[in-house]
Amino acid sequence: MQPGHLQELMLHETAVSWLRARLEQSLPGACWKESSEEFGSRLRTCCAEVNATLQVEKLCRAFPKRVQQLLETEGERLRQ
């Protein structure tokens, strides 16, 4: 069985959303002209911002505790 709200357990979904939001905000006007190198640079900048401003390490260390909470609640929704 899987929890109904998988993002509550699979915290990498949170990290992906952090990055996706920054990539959308930094999207160039003529994005079809963006080279692979330019995209790579933009991606590295967004990653650096996420690492500098958000609690990435805390998110990474939360997984084992979230699994235990899920077991204890028998699959019920987890608090954020």
Range of the domain at 55: 1-20+36-80
Residue 3 has pLDDT above 60, yes or no: no
Q: How many domains does one find in the chain?
A: 1
Residue 41 counted as domain residue: yes
| Whole-number pLDDT of residue 72 | 83
- Tokens linked to 61: 């260390």
Residue 61 per-residue DSSP state: H
Q: Which among 43, 53, 51, 52 is positioned nearest to 22, based on CA atoms?
A: 43
**Residue pLDDT, tens place only, 46-75:** 999 999 998 888 877 877 887 788 788 777
| 10 located within any domain | yes
* Integer Cα distance of 28 and 13 in angstroms: 24
* Residue 12, in any domain of the structure: yes
Give the pLDDT score at 70: 76
Angle (CA) 38-47-12 rounded to 5° is 125
In a domain, 79, yes or no: yes
